[in-house]
Amino acid sequence: MPITELLERNSMQYGNDVSLVEINPEVKEKRRVTWKEYELMEPNPMTHYRREISWHVFNEKANRFANLLLERGIEKGDKVGILLMNCLEWLPIYFGILKTGALVVPFNFRYASDEIKYCVELAEVDILVFGPEFIGRVEEIADEISKNRLLFYVGTNCPTFAEDYVSLTANCSSKTPDIKLTDDDDAAIYFSSGTTGFPKAILHKHRSLMHSAIVEQKHHKQTKEDVFLCIAPLYHTGAKMHWFGSLISGGKGVLLRSAKPKFILQAVSEEKCSIVFLLVPWVQDILESLDKGDLKLEDYELAQWRLMHIGAQPVPPSLINKWLEYFPHNQYDTNYGLSEAIGPGCVHLGVENVHKVGKIGKVGYGWEVKIVDEKGEKVKQGEVGELIVKGPAVMTCYYRNEKATKEVLKDGWLFTGDMAQEDEDGFILLVDRKKDVIISGGENLYPVQIEDFIRTNEAVHDVAVIGLPDKRLGEIAAAVIEIKPGYSLTEYEVNEFCMKLPRYKRPRKVFFEDIPRNPTGKIEKNTLRKMFCTENLVEAQNRG
C-alpha cells in the first residue's frame, strides 16, 4: 500500500486533530497560529513562534500542490526537488509530489550552488521547490537550471526568477488526484551523505517508504496519543522515517527549528512530547548544560517523555549511561540504518536491551542481516566483517550509476560499508566504517573504539580518530579533540590518559580542533583528513 493512503486515512478519521506543529523558538514575538487561522493565510514562518495544521488541512495542502503539478504537466516518473529548511510546508509538499506519481527528491540544505546544480542534473529534476534561505544559492544557477525546469518559491517576497507557491496553490483543487499508485512504482530519490565528494542519487520505490513506516511503529510502539519531536532535517531519511511512526498512528509531530538544549526541553514540555529523536551532539550539549546548571529539569514538564532514541552514528555507551542518570524514566533505543535502506530500522537495540548500550542491536522487523568477509562469506561469531542487509526497503539502485550499484548490491544484499561484529548474545557492535579503518603496521585499528575510550575523559566534548599516512607503518592513528568549555587539556595529558589502551591502539598524534559534523550528526572525517594531512604534518610525524 502506498504511504499516501495513510495520509488520506488520517484526514478522514482524525481530520480536526493537529497533525503537525512548527516551532521557531528564536522568534521574539510569541505569535501562535492555529490550523483554522492557517487555512486563511500563509504566514512567513519566521515571524511566528508556533504554527500548526490539522490532518485535514495537511491532506488538502498536499492535494492542492499535487493538482498544481499535474496542471503544469508533471507525470508519473517525473522528478520534483525540495530545497527547504524544516517547516510546516515541507511534508504537505512531499506528499503532494507523491500523489502525482512523480518522484520526490529532497535536497540537503547545506548544498552550495554547484552541488544543487549537480544534484538537479543527476536526478533529472523537472521542478525545484525552494525556500527563502536558498534565494542566493538558487539565483546563482537559475539561468542554467531553469531552461527546461520550473522554480517554485515557498515564502514571502517571491524572487523574480521563480513562481510563488502560495498564490499558485491557492486556487487549485483540494480533491485527491485520480492517480493510481502501487508499491512497485518509483517514489523517491535521496542523496547519499556525501561526506566525500559529490553525493550519489538513491532510488526507492513506494514499498520502501511504507516498510519504513511499519518498521518504525513496530519498534517504537507509537500510538495516537504519542507526540514526536523532530529536530533533524526532513531531507534526510532518518528524520522523516521516524516521523512516519506518527503518520501510521495518526499522532502529532512537532518540528523544532533549533537544536539548542533549552529549546529542546522547552518544546518537550510545552507540546507534551513523548518521543524524541536526538543526535549525539545534541545529547552531549544537553548533558553539559545540565552539568553546568544552565538547565534545571524541574523547570520543565517531562513526565510524559517516554522514549529517547538515537541513530545516524555510533553511540558512546558512556553518553547514554550518563543520560539515564538524568532521565531514569526514559526508555532508550539505538537505531541503525542508511539512506540506501530507507533510513532507520535495519538493526535496532530495542528499549528492553538498555544493558547492551553501545551495540546497535539485533536485526530489525522485516529485515535480514549478515556479517561477511571480503569474499562475502559469513564470518564466525565475534569476528569483524562487513555488515550486509536485505529486505523490502533496500534501494532499487544508485540512479544513473550502474557501476556504483553493482559494487554494493549483490543478490539482493546491500553491502553497507560498515564493519561490525556479533557478540555471544547475537547483538551487533558497529566497529567502524570500512573506509575509516586504520591499518597501522599490519594491525586493524577501529577509530570508534578509540573514540569511545577518549570520550570518557571529563574534559573531552567530542573526538574523532583518523588515519594519517606514515612511511614506516603505512598509517598512524591521530586523535582530533574538541575540549569542553571551561576545561583544559594538553597533548601530554591525553597521552597519559591513553596509557590504559593497548599500545597499538594509542593515538600517535593529538590535535585540538572543533569536530565538524554533518546535519545528521556524522563526523566529517574527510574534512579532518584534509585539514591535518598536509605535507608539513606528514613530514613532522615521520621525523617523530
Annotate 207-223 with DSSP letters as a single string.
Answer: HHHHHHHHHHHHHH---
CATH number for the domain that contains residue 132: 3.40.50.12780
pLDDT in tens, 253-272: 999 999 999 999 999 999 99
Q: Is residue 46 part of a domain?
A: yes
The pLDDT score that the predictor gives to residue 540 is 41
Which of 5-9, 121-125, 512-516 has the lowest average pLDDT? Answer: 512-516
Q: Extract long-range pairs of 344-351: CB within 8 Å, 24+ residues apart.
A: 344/212, 344/215, 344/216, 344/237, 344/238, 344/241, 344/242, 344/311, 345/212, 345/215, 345/216, 345/219, 345/241, 345/393, 346/389, 346/391, 347/387, 347/389, 347/428, 348/219, 349/427, 350/219, 351/220, 351/307
One domain for residues 445 and 393: no
pLDDT in tens, 228-246: 999 999 998 888 999 999 9
Phi, psi (degrees; rounded to nearest 5) at 493: -65, -35
One domain for residues 368 and 488: no
Q: Is residue 87 part of a domain?
A: yes
Residue 34 predicted with pLDDT over 50: yes
The pLDDT score that the predictor gives to residue 542 is 44
If you average pLDDT over residues 451-469, what whole number do you get? 90
If you average pLDDT over residues 200-211, what whole number do you get? 96
One domain for residues 350 and 208: no
Q: Classify residue 520 by its DSSP letter.
A: T
Is residue 318 within 8 Å of residue 452, measured between CB atoms?
yes
Query: Among 387, 412, 433, where does a domain finish?
Result: 433
Residue 33 predicted with pLDDT over 70: no
CATH number for the domain that contains residue 447: 3.30.300.30
End-to-end, the C-alpha distance of the chain in Å comes to: 62
The pLDDT score that the predictor gives to residue 503 is 82
The pLDDT score that the predictor gives to residue 530 is 81
One domain for residues 402 and 463: no
Portion of the chain with pLDDT greater than 90, in percent: 69
Residue 7 predicted with pLDDT over 70: yes
CATH number for the domain that contains residue 356: 2.30.38.10
If you average pLDDT over residues 27-43, what whole number do you get? 59
Query: Among 433, 448, 477, where does a domain finish?
Result: 433
pLDDT in tens, 306-340: 999 987 566 788 889 999 999 999 999 999 888 99
Residue 170 predicted with pLDDT over 70: yes
Q: Is residue 283 part of a domain?
A: no
Q: How many domains does the chain have?
A: 3
Tell me how far CA of residue 343 lies from CA of 295, 305, 312, 412, 413, in angstroms: 32, 23, 9, 17, 16
- Residue 335 grid coordinates: 537505531
pLDDT in tens, 272-289: 999 999 988 899 899 999
- Residue 414 grid coordinates: 546491500
The pLDDT score that the predictor gives to residue 195 is 44
- Residue 193 grid coordinates: 551523505
Residue numbers of the domain that contains 160: 4-258
pLDDT in tens, 343-367: 788 999 999 999 998 889 999 999 9
Portion of the chain with pLDDT greater than 70, in percent: 91
Residue 196 predicted with pLDDT over 60: no
Q: Is residue 47 part of a domain?
A: yes
Residue 219 predicted with pLDDT over 90: yes
The pLDDT score that the predictor gives to residue 541 is 44
Q: Is residue 285 part of a domain?
A: no
- Comparing 21 with 535, the larger pLDDT belongs to 21
d(CA 345, CA 336): 6
One domain for residues 227 and 354: no
One domain for residues 461 and 384: no
One domain for residues 54 and 139: yes
If you average pLDDT over residues 195-220, what whole number do you get? 89
How would you write 301-321 as a 3-class SS string?
A: CCCCCCEEEEECCCCCHHHHH
If you average pLDDT over residues 507-530, what whole number do you get? 84
> Which pTM value belongs to this model?
0.83
One domain for residues 193 and 97: yes
One domain for residues 243 and 364: no
One domain for residues 56 and 178: yes
With cut-offs at 50, 70 and 90, classify the pLDDT of residue 502.
confident
Q: Is residue 53 part of a domain?
A: yes
With cut-offs at 50, 70 and 90, classify the pLDDT of residue 535.
very low
* Cβ atoms within 10 Å, residue 407: 12
Q: Is residue 290 part of a domain?
A: no
- Residue 74 grid coordinates: 508533471
With cut-offs at 50, 70 and 90, classify the pLDDT of residue 77.
very high
If you average pLDDT over residues 388-397, what whole number do you get? 96
d(CA 106, CA 226): 26
Contacts of 387 (CB under 8 A, 6+ apart): 347, 369, 370, 371, 416, 418, 419, 420, 428, 430
Q: Is residue 395 part of a domain?
A: yes
If you average pLDDT over residues 384-388, what whole number do you get? 93
Is residue 69 within 8 Å of residue 80, measured between CB atoms?
yes
One domain for residues 418 and 454: no
One domain for residues 425 and 323: yes
Query: Among 433, 451, 466, where does a domain finish?
Result: 433
Residue 227 predicted with pLDDT over 80: yes
